[in-house]
Amino acid sequence: MAEADLAAVQRRTTRVLMASQVIGTIGVGIAPSIGILLAGEVTDSEALAGSARTASTLGAALMGIPLGNLAARRGRRVALAGGWWLAAAGAAVLVAAAQWSLIVPLFLGLFLIGTGLAVSLQSRFAATDLADAATEGRALSRVLWVGTFGSVLGPNLGAPGERIGDATGLTPFAGAFLIAAVGLAAAGLVIFVWLRPDPLLVLRAASPATDAGPTPGPRKGRVRVAIAEIRAEPLVRVATAAIVTGQVVMVAVMTMTPVHVDHHGGSVTLVGVTISLHIAGMYLLSPVVGAITDRRGHRATIGIGIAILVASLLIGAARPDDLAAVVVALILLGLGWSFVNVAGSALFSTAVSDENRASSQGGVDALSNLGGAAAALAAGPLLAVTNFSVLSLAALAALTPLALVVTGRPLAASAAT
């Protein structure tokens, strides 16, 4: 395929991915706020409320590798559309869980809706399949950026859910998850109908060594090869450390913020606004972050993100009873995550080999979300027995190893590209 044709496919791919992100992330954004509040209502337990985030994050983690392997075998279109539809099924299950206060469907639905997060994250990698190496940061950041709109709306579905409840007899939470189910299903339809030609299949045709051919072998073989590459390549290890650490730190604090705000007299509306501002911090400036990554380099951009995360955690630790300060800390938490994740993801796409591209990308997202699931699981009991300050300081401790790696000489020498 000619260079002009590849550029045209890249532009079309970016538009389709952006459209699906706007719609699908409405459903994804509901889990961190309304999902946790629903879990608290159904389980009547603060610790179990935190495990609601664990369930959705664990779903994203466990689906990351299968979706990556499916993309390697069948292309991005099948993998991304199927993932959105599986998340829509999870939202439908949550309608029943919310309506009748069912614990098992609650956690099953949250697990399945977590697939939407895995799809949203893999969409950013799909945006880099045909991008030039010098513009990968901007390519993936644009797809992340449009997710701002859906992700900000998602935590605020409580009010529309109430209106749907008035018209249908559903509870407000059930109405909110009904909206999420429709959005997630529509995102899958957009991908399935319009992501043609498939960018990964086009890349494979242009570069026969790319990873969807028979070379990597069956699913277990692909997983082993992806893990081996992450362990063997220094830049891939650095990128993996950045992506995973940023996710762990962000999820640990963000997961329990709705519960903390609620305990300090904040309304459901304030919880939604707080999470929406946090998500805006995560995504709104991502094109700027992508441009900084392409211009200043991966190491410098990750370093900026670490500094912002440190500021966020120190504010949270010092002013836990000041809800305005907590909101500021959450905005900075999202912005710091954006710098670390965009730069780390761009570095990963640059450093990983073409023959293992989709499988390795699915693997790093799985590791990231497993780390997030563990952080969410620990955050609930930690907040229950201590306070928000201790939670913030624990997250700061988790950030320290990455800070040492980024400021060390080995990375300075190897990540100059």
Q: Where are the domains of the chain?
A: 3-409
What pLDDT is recorded for position 24?
92
- On whether the CB atoms of residues 250 and 358 are closer than 8 A, the answer is no
- On whether the CB atoms of residues 344 and 246 are closer than 8 A, the answer is yes
pTM over 0.85: no
Compute the distance between CA of residue 115 and CA of residue 79 in angstroms, rounded to an integer: 11
Does pLDDT of 81 surpass 70? yes
Where b means 16+ CB within 10 Å and e means fewer, 343-370 reads bbbbbbbbbbeebbbbbbbbbbbbbbbb
Torsion of CA 359, 364, 370, 375, to 10 degrees: -170
**Single-letter amino acid, residue 345:** S
What share of the chain has pLDDT > 70, as a percent? 86
- The more confidently predicted of residues 153 and 89 is 89
Q: Range with the lowest mean pLDDT among 22-31, 174-183, 191-200?
A: 22-31
Does pLDDT of 369 surpass 50? yes
Compute the distance between CA of residue 127 and CA of residue 141 in angstroms, rounded to an integer: 9
Average pLDDT over residues 96-124: 92
Does pLDDT of 416 surpass 70? no
Does pLDDT of 417 surpass 50? no
Return phi, psi of residue 369, to 5°. Answer: -75, -30
Just give the CATH number of 3-409: 1.20.1250.20
What the block records as the tokens of 379 is 């955050």
